[in-house]
Structure 1
Amino acid sequence: MIGLPSLRALDGAPGPRIWLAAEATDMRCGFDRLAQRVQSVIGEDPLSGHLFLFRSRNGNRLKILTWDRDGYVLWYKRLEVGVFKLPRITPGDSAVELRASELAMVLDGIDVSKLKRVPRYERAAGSNKNDLQRVMA
């Protein structure tokens, strides 16, 4: 049985990105139609190895599509009671990028739309230790 990658594997620096399609998707879609939606709705390459999430209209079903070396992998989860509590999506956006921890929370039943992320320092590419010291001064 194939399981979802661990958080450690997903949080690795060059690891796969996680994209959630903003609009509901027909859960009858299979590998090929979901791959088409990755290109047309999310605007990404379905063969990239990233994870692409799709939710049902009523929110109790979730599909995750990814490419694994020689073929697509499709995870499908249906909740018997309740709905997945997904992050808020800005109107007009076709997709939102999730962190691995957010995906884990969604799958674990945590309402990520109510979570508040506190600001964190993020070092710009190409910056060095002296830049950080100037900011802290």
Structure 2
Amino acid sequence: MKMFVEVPAIYLYSGHVDFRKSINGLLLIIEQDMAHSPFDEALFVFCNRHRDKVKALYWDKTGFCLWYKRLEQDFFRWPAASQKTLQLTEEQWYWLLAGVDLAKMRLHQPLNCRIAS
């Protein structure tokens, strides 16, 4: 089941955000800290200090939509990053919501094979 409209990009803010901020406060973070336009076809994702809440913001061509999730007994495994913005795939976004630690995931590396033996 999909929760959002299709977006070509998902940008995660690697720091924590004061969750008293609503749409206008998050728009400033998108423009000033993440160096993106909030009108891009993208989902912008934020987490609070305790990592038990997530907000996602996107522009749907008629207005801004704000999505909020609060965990009752656990926390999100928020990736640590040297840059303020990380780009996630849709698959990584759903893994993050499910509680997967993206930093510990090790996927098979693609091979560049030319001859089958």
Give the TM-score category using the shorter length.
0.7 to 0.9
CA contact (8 A) 2:14 2:78 kept: no
Q: Tell me the residue number matched to 1:24.
A: 16
Residues 46-102 of structure 1: CA deviation (Å, up to 9, x unaligned)? 01120001000111010000000110011101111111012332x2x1111111001
Q: CA RMSD in A?
A: 2.0
Q: Is 1:76–2:68 an aligned residue pair?
A: yes
Q: Tell me the residue number matched to 2:88.
A: 98
Q: Which protein shows a greater Rg? A: 1
Structure 1 position 110, deviation (Å): 1.9
Where relative contact order (Cα < 8 A, 6+ residues apart) is larger, the structure is: 2
Larger % of helix: which? 1
User: Runs of 5+ in structure 1 lacking a partner?
Assistant: 10-14, 122-131
Percent of paired sites with the same residue = 26
So what's the TM-score if we normalise by structure 2?
A: 0.86
So what's the TM-score if we normalise by structure 1?
A: 0.75
After superposing on structure 2, the runs of 4+ consecutive aligned residues of structure 1 that deviate more than 3 Å are: none
User: Runs of 5+ in structure 2 lacking a partner?
Assistant: none
Match of 2:45 among 41, 50, 53: 53
Larger % of strand: which? 2
